[in-house]
Amino acid sequence: MTMCINGKGKFNDFANRKGPRWRSGGAATRLWGKTVTAGKGNRYICPMQFYDIPGQEFIKSHLRQSAASGRIAHAQLFVGPEGSGMLAMAIAYAQYILCGNLGSENSGGNEACNLKFAALAHPDLHFIYPTVSTEEVKSKPKSIDFITEWREFVLANPHGSLFDWYQALEVANKQGLIRVEDAAEVLKVMALKPYEGGYKIMIVWMADKMNIEASNKLLKIIEEPPQKTVFILITENEEDIVQTIRSRCQVLHFGPIPEEILAETLVSRENADPRLARNLARQSQGNYSKALHLLHGDSEELPFEEWFVLWVRAAFRAKGNASAISDLISWSEKIAGLGRETQKKFLHFCIDMFRQALLLNYQATSLVYMEPKIDKFKLENFAPFVNGNNIGEIYEELSSAVYHIERNGNAKIILTDLSIKLTRLIHKK
């Protein structure tokens, strides 16, 4: 059920969103924040609904019950993998609290409040997220400096990844951070009384990107929170958040979206062919954001596959062939010219490719989900070169490269060194 509200406070159920009875500015999964025309020209705007978040039924029930009973933890930490719906859940939960909604969905409460949430414009809802310096914001960037871009990004796809956000910001060779200036803004905003007399809610997206100064400053207000304030921290890397903050939060763990639920969602909301939906659900491994990218043909993994194949082919040729080393150096220069976030994401993709090849080599075919589309490259032909004798070192070298790139090491040197090592490891029996 997707409930949308019009200017007269009347709701309409857009569960059956096919045919002439509805039309909107976006795909079915993007009704949230859109204006929908139905019936006799009545216009409705659609807030975020728990229904719009695939899976996570236990967490939905827990959050609704905590709000209904008034037992709302002042600091909560949502932990889960990419594409598991944590940001969408945080927003739906915040709406449920601030608007006094009833039952299982975001309806039945303050209708004007629900309208504000449809545009992410409620005065008692605040966001902190990683940012970078740009031509417009040259130094000390804060989340508030990018609030327009943030609202557009989230309304377009509330399941978007950190990499998607960086692409929207055009970060180039920079890495996003949550800085002490953001933490100072949190203290300032949360110290004020709620605009509408209820709660004030702060959502900190990708809280693991806080630097030490920001973490220490945020810790102070989490330890001694003002009345009726709620902090929702979201992370995909729980261990990267300082222990003193983690220990003061109620932690909720999100799991990957089950394959069957993800496939059903792609069919019902994106009108995907059932067979294609099952295949995409398997490939995306519970990541709704990735499934949408694959479905709409805008996945970043197509160039990743090309780069990976070029790399391993050059590494094969380079053994005992000094002239082929130039191909590896050229490859390293090409990847080094990309943004650091793209480099890191690509190296993680390489780790997944080697892991899939290992599984295939040891006949664990039920766990193999990657299907490379590069001409004349078959995973089953590559698999014999990845085995128990070299996978550990390959993983270690790739992880080390990610570590040093993240710490602003010289990418060309790091990738050239990695490539030369791969030449030796790929031939190790």
**Other C-beta atoms within 10 Å of 367: how many?**
10
- pTM of the entire predicted model: 0.81
Q: Residue 199 to residues 16, 48, 71, 251, 330: CA-CA distances in angstroms?
A: 34, 18, 13, 20, 56
Digit-coded pLDDT (tens) for 229-243? 999 999 999 999 999
* pLDDT on residue 375: 79
Tens digits of residue pLDDT in 89-126: 999 999 999 988 887 887 777 888 888 888 888 999 99
Beta bridge partners of 230: 201
**d(C-alpha 278, C-alpha 271), whole Å:** 13
Q: Kindly give, in sequence order, each residue whose CB lies less than 8 Å from that of residue 322, ignoring residues fewer than 6 positions away.
A: none
The tokens for 285 are 């491994």
Among 297-301, 310-314, 321-325, 412-416, the least confident range: 297-301
- Closest by CA to 208, choosing from 366, 82, 37, is 82
Residues 6+ apart with CB under 8 A from 122: 95, 98, 113, 116
The pLDDT of residue 119 is 82
Strand locations in 157-282, DSSP E? 200-204, 229-235, 250-253
Closest CA to 37 of 29, 45, 27: 45
Which pair of structure tokens corresponds to residue 89?
A: 């859940």
Backbone angles phi, psi at 72, to 5 degrees: -100, 115
Say how far apart CA 423 and CA 429 lie, in whole Å.
13
Taking a C-beta distance cutoff of 8 angstroms, is the pair 290, 279 a contact?
A: no
The answer to which of 44-48, 344-348, 406-410 has the lowest mean pLDDT is 44-48
Tens digits of per-residue pLDDT, 139-151?
888 999 999 999 9
- HEC string for 291-322: HHHHHHCCCCHHHHHHHHHHHHHHHHHHCCCH
